[in-house]
Amino acid sequence: MSFTPAAPSAMDYAHPTSRPYDNTPPGARTSETPGADRHSPARGKLRAFAWLGHSRTVEERLAGTGSEDRFDELARMAVQEPWEMPMTAEPGSLGILKYYVTWTFEQALLTEAVLPSPDADMCVFNTGLITRQHEDIYGIFRPNHRPDQQDWILAGWLVAGAPQLDVFPELPSAAVYSQDPLSYVYDWDLPLDFSARQLIPLISGLLPAGLKEFSLGLELMLAGAVNRARDIAKRYPGTAVPAWQPGGTEIQLLLPLYLADPATPDAALVLSRGDTTYRCTAIVSPAQGYKEARLITRPTAHWLDSLT
């Protein structure tokens, strides 16, 4: 099975002011809702590297109208999985997929796994996604000959074995985040070092209003939630989920924090492993935790998988 990238259309070559994928300059701040991305796809290097073609609007995607964009094409090719968060204000956005592709590409770029063809007429990276036939899917770039724009255009996607890939002496592997298998699992023999008081500012924007009013009670509740998360991870090893913070240098682990509802996590505790302890380095919304975990692999832990 193979998929030929569509020839760039007039819309693909349109000036960035005509329905771009994202016209926010790299590094610019965008408006975010509480618990939104710590790292918006608009801030990644993919946009600086390549013109992504036209962008299908959320309204078109929800209505089933408008032509597919590159992300629609990829979602259709890959093994089916949820690429949106039902509880966030982004239905029809393919937000998880855009986040995944943006930061997977950046990791590939950092590890020199974005490879040009010998004649420099194509460029390829491994998306880390597979088809239903378990074939790797590659992102393909073609040169952008329009002046004052990115050097490349995202031309589409190819599966392993497609004849167009024969021009590459070798194909890149999927992005790698750690060569140490132990970094992906929780070691319950290591103590967890944290200060509940210092965690309160990190979690305050993710809590129901009623919990924010009792600072002393919240400190005790938060300490109990962290200890409970540690106990759950020890009893059910799959609870701790490996994740990657874009721009980071190490695999981090996510643990669920239950405060208002013992059945639904209010937040995810982000752990970094030291030589002798784990440190609590951040607290993120469960939705953001899912996105960062998806960079490693599709989460199967119930507390994250149930979000989708």
Q: How confident is the model over 147-183, as pLDDT tens digits? A: 889 999 999 999 999 999 999 999 999 999 999 999 9
pLDDT of 75 reads: 97
Q: What is the pLDDT of residue 218?
A: 82
Does the pLDDT of residue 265 top 70, yes or no? yes
Please determine, for residue 24, whether its predicted confidence score (pLDDT) is greater than 60: no
Mean pLDDT of 16-24: 33
One-letter amino acid at 233 equals A
Question: Which residues, including other chains, have CB under 8 Å from residue 13's CB and lie 6 or more apart?
Answer: 51, 144, 146, 153
pLDDT at position 89: 59
- Give all strands (DSSP E) within 7-55, no chain letters: 50-51
pLDDT at 137 over 80: yes
The tokens of 21 are what? 């994928």
Q: Model confidence at 210, in pLDDT bands (50, 70, 90)?
A: low
Using the predicted structure, report yes or no on whether residue 3 has a pLDDT greater than 50. no
Per-residue confidence band for 221, with pLDDT thresholds at 50, 70 and 90: confident
Q: For residue 26, what pLDDT is reported? A: 33
3-state helix, strand, coil in the chain (%, to 5): 30, 20, 50
pLDDT for 14: 34
Q: What is the C-alpha separation between 305 and 303, in angstroms, rounded?
A: 6
3-state secondary structure of 192: strand
- Give yes or no for residue 29 having a pLDDT over 70: no
CA–CA gap between residue 226 and residue 269 (Å, rounded) = 8
Q: What is the mean pLDDT of the chain?
A: 84
pTM: 0.83
Stated length of the chain: 308
What amino acid is encoded at 281 in this protein?
T
Q: Is the pLDDT of residue 201 over 90?
A: no
pLDDT, position 304: 87
Sheet holding 278-284, edge to edge: 192-193, 278-284, 267-273, 252-257, 241-243
Taking phi over 0 as left and psi of -120 to 50 as alpha, with beta for the rest, 209 belongs to alpha
Q: What are the backbone angles phi and psi of residue 305, rounded to the nearest 5°?
A: -60, -35
Between 7-11, 60-64, 238-242, the lowest mean confidence (pLDDT) is in: 7-11
Structure-model confidence comparison of residues 80 and 200, the more confident one: 80
Over residues 265-289, the mean pLDDT reads 93
Q: How far apart are CA 230 and CA 214, in angstroms?
A: 24
In the chain the first and final C-alpha atoms are separated, in Å, by 29
The H or E element spanning position 287 is helix 286-294
Q: Is the pLDDT of residue 17 over 60?
A: no
- Has residue 184 got a pLDDT over 60? yes
Mean pLDDT over residues 8-33, rounded? 34
Q: For the ranges 19-28, 44-53, 55-64, 109-118, which has the lowest average pLDDT?
A: 19-28
The tokens for 25 are 């300059």
User: pLDDT tens across 54-107, in order?
Assistant: 999 999 998 999 999 999 999 999 999 999 876 565 678 899 999 999 999 999
pLDDT for the residue 19: 33
Phi/psi at 165 (nearest 5 deg)?
-80, -5
Q: What is the reported pLDDT for 100?
A: 96
